[in-house]
Amino acid sequence: AQKVTQAQTEISVVEKEDVTLDCVYETRDTTYYLFWYKQPPSGELVFLIRRNSFDEQNEISGRYSWNFQKSTSSFNFTITASQVVDSAVYFCALSETSGSRLTFGEGTQLTVNP
Amino acid sequence: KAGVTQTPRYLIKTRGQQVTLSCSPISGHRSVSWYQQTPGQGLQFLFEYFSETQRNKGNFPGRFSGRQFSNSRSEMNVSTLELGDSALYLCASSWGTSTDAETQYFGPGTRLLVL
């Protein structure tokens, strides 16, 4: 069975601080995909990144970066120089090779204070 | 390109009633998945439809059902509503044709309150 754990329920930071959101996953599949989504108060899940299990390169997109470590089954997300608009719930998710079923973590509520 | 749309956005029903939610995927996407989000259980997969056929199903009772039309639009139905069905119901679409896990794009959701 697949499982995603986001141990940090809530994080509060002051604007311009860097913040890392942790994600640990469990799967018996050798090929799998990991995702991060952002959910602002409006409710819609906004796609941020998709990564397959064979690509362990870290990725940077603007202020966002992701660290994928297969050895520790982790896929952490860092926001550099956080902004108030980054305030949202962030979800990490896992999917098998085929099929569209996403297994989500519990989510981390990030609050960035001015 | 228009995103995933869901109607209605808000709904209030009473126990025992039934409800139908609608989802229109991104143009060209043929796979539509439904998820339920509650404070207690988080985000849970309900089912996926592709080419008018249910391709994948989560662990929900038979009161939850869905269908997909030839234009890929999908509806989800919940019969005999229970208080615990109060949730945000999210629809997501993807191309549906790859053997790899595709990125799913989500709609704004339908907030259902059961009284």
Q: How far apart are the first and last CA of chain A?
A: 41
pLDDT tens string A52-96: 999 888 888 999 999 999 999 999 999 999 999 999 999 999 998
Residue numbers in B near A52 (CB within 8 A): 100-101
Structure tokens that stand for B16 in this block:
């025992």
pLDDT score of A98 more than 70? no
Q: Across the interface, do B42 and A32 touch by the CB < 8 Å criterion?
A: no
Confidence (pLDDT) at A99: 65
Q: Tell me the C-alpha distance between A24 and B78, whole Å.
A: 33
Across the interface, of A45, A52, A98, the residue whose CB is closest to B90 is A45
Q: What is the mean pLDDT of chain A?
A: 94
Residue of B nearest to A101 (CA): B45
B83 φ, ψ (degrees, to nearest 5)? -55, -35
Residue B106 contacts A, CB cutoff 8 Å: yes
Interface test mutation site (partner B, options A45, A92, A106, max chain B beta carbons within 10 A): A45
Residue with tokens 């994948």: B56
| Strand pairing class (B10-13; B64-68) | unpaired
Q: Across the interface, do B106 and A47 touch by the CB < 8 Å criterion?
A: yes
Confidence (pLDDT) at A20: 98
pLDDT score of A97 more than 70? no
% pLDDT > 90, chain A: 82
Residue numbers in B near A95 (CB within 8 A): 101
Confidence (pLDDT) at B42: 96
Cα A61 → chain centroid: 14
Q: Tell me the C-alpha distance between B14 and A108, whole Å.
A: 32
Q: Across the interface, do A43 and B92 touch by the CB < 8 Å criterion?
A: no
Task: Compute the nearest-CA separation of B81 from chain A (Å).
Answer: 22
Which positions ≥6 away from A62 have C-beta within 8 Å? none
What are the 10-residue block averages of pLDDT along chain B, 115 residues in total?
92 98 96 96 96 94 97 97 98 86 93 98
